[in-house]
Amino acid sequence: MITSEQVSFDQQHIWHPYSSMINPPPMYPVESTSGVRIKLSSGQELIDGMASWWSVIHGYGHPELNKAAHEQIDKMSHVMFGGLTHEPAIELCRKLVKLTPSNLDKVFLADSGSVAVEVAIKMAIQYFHAQSMPEKCKLLTIKNGYHGDTFGAMSVCDPVTGMHEIFTSLLPKHHFAPAPQIGFSETWDEKDIADLKSILETNHQNIAALILEPIVQGAGGMRFYSPQYLVKARKLCDQYNVLLIADEIATGFGRSGKLFACEHAQIQPDILCLGKAITGGYMSLAATLTSTKIGETISKGGAGCFMHGPTFMGNPLACAIANKSLELLESTDWYNNVQRIEKGLVSGLSEAESLASVANVRCLGAIGVIEMKEAVNTTEIQKLFIERGLWIRPFGKLIYVMPPYVMNDEDLSTLTTGMVDAVACYNY
């Protein structure tokens, strides 16, 4: 049992994500987790609508993942990846090459999503540097995007919604196009890609890559945009000799209704970033994949190698769990589960559309979003969710859920009903 003294120590000494040390947010001590539930020290159980920031796709405490962790830790929990290799990493990379678009056959394993993005950016820049084109060192991205909290990743997050505006003077200056405005199912209009096209026409000589979140913009706004935008962006990148980096850290492994969101547009990126759900939420692990052409070009450059190497790269314990997580994904009919969840979200959240405080309701795959007309007080509305036995963490105007794929229909209905009810009861 977590004591009140421990909670007090936490609030005085431990920094939580995006939190203040002067006015720390309330903390809800967790005693244990199981399936789709979080059990608090108070004894209350909450249905987890967040899948621990979108990663726990198989639910908590899955026996197969537990078994994989136990078996691997008895063999080795970690060994340096420099000059050594091991079966868990080899088999994980084999799976990733098989699952991802056919042009991607070189895998760099990292330890977090932000690092996967850093690796992708360095790959793109080093690729052109190896071809004696060092001037191609800038990036192009779209507004409302979010790619992580490290400095390279921050530089391609939206300057305002990306939460990193106070670092603007220190960050590299890149090119930003307006965010796509045409929604996922809306009729395509060529005007939506015009600004991106103009930036490439004018600046392609110094642009190494276009980086974006395919179809679903996550922490920058939970926006779903037209697959045609991605189709056109791919063609423009080919036309102007610019690489396309797909950041699928949030969308990878089925979240959008396709195994990878790029499949909605049937395009192949030059570089792909993966993370979050790769280990089923058990451990931090990420991967950046690219093509033979890019890998060999980088390796033929002046450095003779790719200039990156994290200490915990290819961690055997994380790789072993990731292998089992991907096996579970393929064997448990993830597609129909996600389609079932999408139907439940659409049905359950539709009642929020009539509320005066709600601007928009939208769902795609296992993602459900209620966008409010005004920003909510996270602390206050979270209390309403907890009273209804739910764990939901909104931000700004956005109240959203990304539930585990194993959530049954009854729990999903409880989640959406409680979500709508709390929004209806919330007072600004």
Residue where the block lists tokens 């932000």: 114
Q: Please, are residues 363 and 379 in contact by the beta-carbon 8 Å criterion?
A: no
Catalytic residues: 18, 146, 247, 276
pLDDT of residue 164: 76
User: CATH 3.40.640.10: which residues of the chain?
Assistant: 66-331
Q: What is the pLDDT of residues 87-142, one digit of tens each?
A: 999 999 999 999 999 999 999 999 999 999 999 999 999 999 999 999 999 999 99
Q: Can you name the residues that pair with 371 across neighbouring β-strands?
A: 360, 398
pLDDT of residue 25: 87
Q: Please, are residues 313 and 116 in contact by the beta-carbon 8 Å criterion?
A: no
Q: What is the pLDDT of residues 9-52, one digit of tens each?
A: 999 999 999 899 999 889 999 999 999 999 999 999 999 999 99
Parallel/antiparallel/unpaired status of strands 207-212 and 243-247: parallel
CA distance 244 to 285: 22
Fill in the amino acid letter for 242.
Answer: V
DSSP string of 98-158, one letter each residue: HHS-TT--EEEEESSHHHHHHHHHHHHHHHHHTTT-TT--EEEEETT----SSHHHHTTS-
For residue 257, pLDDT over 70 is answered with yes
| Residue 377 CB contacts under 8 Å (≥ 6 apart), including other chains | none
Q: How far is C-alpha 390 from the geometric centre of its chain's CA atoms?
A: 22
Among candidates 365, 329, 319, which has minimal Cα distance to 253?
329
For residue 254, pLDDT over 90 is answered with yes
CA distance 75 to 87: 11
Q: What is the pLDDT of residues 146-188, one digit of tens each?
A: 999 999 999 999 987 767 778 888 999 999 999 999 999 999 9
pTM of the model: 0.97
Q: What is the pLDDT of residues 54-85, one digit of tens each?
A: 999 999 999 999 999 999 999 999 999 999 99
Question: CB under 8 Å, gap of 24 or more: what pairs does 351-358 form?
Answer: 351/420, 352/419, 352/420, 352/423, 352/424, 355/420, 355/423, 355/424, 357/423, 357/426, 357/428, 358/423
**Beta-carbon-side half-sphere exposure of residue 285 (alpha carbons within 13 Å):** 28
Q: Please, are residues 395 and 426 in contact by the beta-carbon 8 Å criterion?
A: no
DSSP string of 27-61, one letter each residue: ---EEEEEBTEEEETTS-EEEESSHHHHT-TT-BT
Which of the four CATH numbers 3.40.640.10, 3.30.300.30, 3.40.50.150, 3.30.465.10 does domain 66-331 have? 3.40.640.10
What Cα–Cα distance (Å) separates residue 336 from each residue in 282, 329, 331, 343, 396? Answer: 23, 11, 12, 11, 32
| pLDDT mean across residues, the chain | 96
Q: Please, are residues 69 and 321 in contact by the beta-carbon 8 Å criterion?
A: yes
**Class of domain 4-58+333-425 as given by CATH:** alpha beta
How much of the chain is helix, strand and coil, in % rounded to 5? 40, 15, 40
**Cα torsion angle, 57, 58, 61, 67, sign:** negative
User: CATH 3.90.1150.10: which residues of the chain?
Assistant: 4-58+333-425
pLDDT of residue 162: 65
**Beta-carbon-side half-sphere exposure of residue 184 (alpha carbons within 13 Å):** 16
